[in-house]
Chain A
Amino acid sequence: MRPEGRGETESLYFRYPHFDPPEAREVLSAAVPVAIVGAGPIGMTAALTLAKEGVRSVLFDAKSTFNDGSRAICIARQSFNILERLGAVGPFLEKALPWTTGRSFYRGQQILEFEMPDSPREKFRPMYNLQQQYIEDFLWRAVEAEPLIETRWQSEVVGVRDVDGGVRLSVKDPLGTYEIEAAWVLAADGARSPIRKMRGLRLKGENYEGRYVIADVQMAHDYPTIRRALFDPDCRRGGTILVHKQPDNIWRIDYQLREGESEAEAIREETVRASVAAVLGELGYEGAWELEWWSIYSANTLALDDYRDGRIFFIGDSAHIVPIFGVRGLNNGLADAHNMGWKLGWVLTGRADERLLESYTPERRGATLDVFANASKSARFMTPPTSGWELMRDAALNLALEHPFAGELANPRQMTPYTYADSPIAGPKGDGRGPIPGAALPGARVEGGYLQDRLGAGFTLLTCDAGLAGLADVMLYVEVLGVGSEAAEVLGLGTQGAVLVRPDLHIAARWERAVPEDITAALALSTGRARA
C-alpha cells in the first residue's frame, strides 16, 4: 500500500516499467520445451538457469510490471553465488548494501551484537540488502538480453491440462485467449499460486500468531547497515521491531501487532504514520521522513507435500511459505529455481536422465523443512506463542542485560546453506574429511581469485591429482588444485583425493583416493543415469 494520492507503483525512488502484451500473435501457440508461469524473481531465475543450459523457455506473467513494493530485501551469500553463475550479479553488487552485523536491544539497551559467518575466503558477504523491485529489475536485464527466453507480459495462465508428453496451458491476455503446449511447466506463480489451485493441491503446515506491519520510509538516517531488533521497546511494549537499511535512503521497519489489534486499523495510513513516528522516536531519529510503502505479513510455515505434479514443478512461494524472520522466502526460492533449472536443462539437452528430476522434491523440500525448523525457533522468540515460551523469552532478554550468554538466545542464526545429505543423487562420502556430499561448496582463495571462479559450467572435478586431468570431457571440467593450498585444505583434499561439484555448487561426491571408474559412476548417479 502507498500513501493517499499515490498509485500502486508510484514510488519515491523507483520507476516501474510498463510492459505490453505480445504483439506477434500468429506464433503464440507454437509448442515450447518449458513454460514458466510467473515472472517474479523465482520464475526469472529459473528461465536464466535453463538458458545457461541451452534450453528455451517462455515466461508468462499476468502483470504489466514488476511486483509492487520492496517485499523481500535480504539476499544471502548463497543467492549471490547463484546470481554470479547466471552472469547477473554485476548490478546487484553495485547497488546492494552488504552487511554482517546484527544488534538486539531489550527495553532500549543493547543485549547482543552478532556477526554472521564471514572470512576472507568468501567472495561474497553473508547478506546484502536490496529492495525486491531492484532484484526483479536486475534479473529482468539479464532475461531481456537472453535470446533463449521469451517473456509474455499481461499474460495470465487460466487453465492447465495434461496431454500426452506435456501440458496444455490456456493463456489470456488483453488481445485474446490462446492455448500453448509445453513439455514441462514450472509454476513460479507465487504464494497464492493459481496453478496449485487448478491442480487441487494444498500447502500444509502451521500459521503462527505474530502479524507484522512492514513499512518503508525514506530518511537521511545516519546508521550503518546493521540489522536491529528491538524487543519490548517503549513505543510498542511487549512487541518486537526490526529495522533494516536499504539503498536510496530507504529504511525497512517491521513492527509486530499486538494481540487483538485489528488489521484493518493497523494498515490505515494514519495508524502506520503514527506507529512509524513512534519507532523513529525510539531510534532517536528526529529529522524529516517520507512514507514510501507498507504491507502486512504473518508468519507461516507451509509447504506442498510434493513439489512435483506430473510434468509441473512448483518453485518458490508457490511451493512453500516461510516466515520473514529467517529471511529465507526469496533465498529459498532462488535455490529452488537454480536446482530445478540445471536438472531440467540437463534432461532436455540429453545429458541427464529424466529420473534426475526425482531428486528435486527431496532436496528442495528438505531445505524448506530445515528453514521451517529454524524459522519456527526465531518465530517463537520474536512472537512467543504461549505463556511458557513468553516467560522464558522475557527471562532470557532480562537476564541478557547483565549476562551476554542469555542474549545469544536472540541470535537469529540466519542462513547457512542447506546440505542435501539424504539426496538420492549424493555419491560416495570418502573418509568424512571436509564437506560431505550434498553440502554447499565452501569458499577459498585460489591464486588471487576464488574457488568458485575455477569451476566449469557443468560438473567440476576438484583434485590435487594432476593425473586425473585427462578425465575432462563435455560433461566434466577438471580443475587441479595445489597440494596443501587453501582450497585443498578447506575441501579436505589430500594428494589423491577429489571432490565432484554439481552445476549448482553443491558437492556431489568425494574420495580420498579417486579413480576414474568411480568418478564416472558418481557422475552417472548425479545425472540420474544410474541409481544409488
Chain B
Amino acid sequence: MTPLDVEAVYEALAETLDAVGDEKQRMFLAKLALLLARDLGDTALVRQRIGEAAKHLEA
C-alpha cells in the first residue's frame, strides 16, 4: 500500500463512520475487524495488532 492508498482507506473509513452514525459505529468497526482479520489469515499477526491498537488509548 502506498501512502496514497492508506489515505484513501482512511477517508473511506471516516465517511462510512459518519454515514452509519454514532450509535452503530462500534458495531460497524467490530464487523470490519472480523472481516479484515479473516482476509489477513494470520492469527498471530491479528493478535499482535489487537494489542497494538489497544495501546495509548489514554494519550
Select which of B27, B31, B38 is within 8 A of A405 by beta carbon. Answer: B38
Q: Which residues of B in the span 4-37 have a Cβ within 8 Å of any Cβ on A?
A: 26-27, 30-31, 33-35
Residue pair B35, A399 in contact (C-beta under 8 Å) = yes
Q: Could you tell me the distance between the alpha carbons of A394 and B24 in the complex, rounded to whole angstroms?
A: 11
Q: Could you tell me the distance between the alpha carbons of A85 and B43 in the complex, rounded to whole angstroms?
A: 44
Residue pair B27, A396 in contact (C-beta under 8 Å) = no
CB of B57 to closest CB in A, whole Å = 14
Decide if A466 is an interface residue (CB 8 Å cutoff): no
Residues of B within 8 A of A392 (CB): 30, 34
From B27, B30, B33, residue with most partner A Cβ within 10 Å = B30
Q: Could you tell me the distance between the alpha carbons of A399 and B34 in the complex, rounded to whole angstroms?
A: 9
Residues of A within 8 A of B31 (CB): 395, 398-399
Q: Could you tell me the distance between the alpha carbons of A391 and B31 in the complex, rounded to whole angstroms?
A: 9
Q: How many residues of B contact A (CB 8 A)?
A: 8
Residues of A within 8 A of B30 (CB): 391-392, 394-395
Q: How many residues of A contact B (CB 8 A)?
A: 10
A 398-415 to B, binary, CB cutoff 8 A, 1 in contact else 0: 110001011000000000
CB of B50 to closest CB in A, whole Å = 12
Select which of B26, B35, B38 is within 8 A of A391 by beta carbon. Answer: B26
Residues of A within 8 A of B34 (CB): 392, 395-396, 399, 406
From A395, A399, A406, residue with most partner B Cβ within 10 Å = A395
Q: Could you tell me the distance between the alpha carbons of A392 and B29 in the complex, rounded to whole angstroms?
A: 10
Q: Could you tell me the distance between the alpha carbons of A391 and B23 in the complex, rounded to whole angstroms?
A: 12
Chain A residue nearest to B28 (CB atoms) is A395
Q: Could you tell me the distance between the alpha carbons of A74 and B46 in the complex, rounded to whole angstroms?
A: 38
Chain A residue nearest to B24 (CB atoms) is A398
Chain B residue nearest to A394 (CB atoms) is B27
Q: Could you tell me the distance between the alpha carbons of A396 and B33 in the complex, rounded to whole angstroms?
A: 10
Residues of A within 8 A of B26 (CB): 391
CB of B15 to closest CB in A, whole Å = 20
Q: Could you tell me the distance between the alpha carbons of A391 and B25 in the complex, rounded to whole angstroms?
A: 11
Q: Which residues of A in the span 6-53 have a Cβ within 8 Å of any Cβ on B?
A: none
Q: Could you tell me the distance between the alpha carbons of A391 and B34 in the complex, rounded to whole angstroms?
A: 12
Q: Could you tell me the distance between the alpha carbons of A120 and B30 in the complex, rounded to whole angstroms?
A: 41
Chain A residue nearest to B29 (CB atoms) is A395
Residue pair B35, A403 in contact (C-beta under 8 Å) = yes
Residues of A within 8 A of B35 (CB): 399, 403
Q: Which residues of A in the span 59-90 have a Cβ within 8 Å of any Cβ on B?
A: none
Q: Could you tell me the distance between the alpha carbons of A453 and B35 in the complex, rounded to whole angstroms?
A: 48
CB of B23 to closest CB in A, whole Å = 12
Residue pair A398, B27 in contact (C-beta under 8 Å) = yes
Q: Could you tell me the distance between the alpha carbons of A399 and B35 in the complex, rounded to whole angstroms?
A: 8
Residues of B within 8 A of A394 (CB): 27, 30
CB of A7 to closest CB in B, whole Å = 49
CB of B7 to closest CB in A, whole Å = 26
Interface residues of B (CB under 8 A from A): 26-27, 30-31, 33-35, 38
Which 9 residue pairs of A and B lie closest in terms of their CB atoms, listed nearest first?
A395-B30, A395-B31, A399-B31, A391-B30, A395-B27, A391-B26, A399-B34, A392-B30, A398-B31
Pick 21 A–B contacts, CB within 8 A, sort by A: A391-B26, A391-B27, A391-B30, A392-B30, A392-B34, A394-B27, A394-B30, A395-B27, A395-B30, A395-B31, A395-B33, A395-B34, A396-B34, A398-B27, A398-B31, A399-B31, A399-B34, A399-B35, A403-B35, A405-B38, A406-B34
Interface residues of A (CB under 8 A from B): 391-392, 394-396, 398-399, 403, 405-406
Besides A392-B34, A394-B27, A406-B34, 7 more A-B contacts (Cβ < 8 Å) are A391-B30, A395-B27, A396-B34, A399-B31, A399-B34, A399-B35, A405-B38
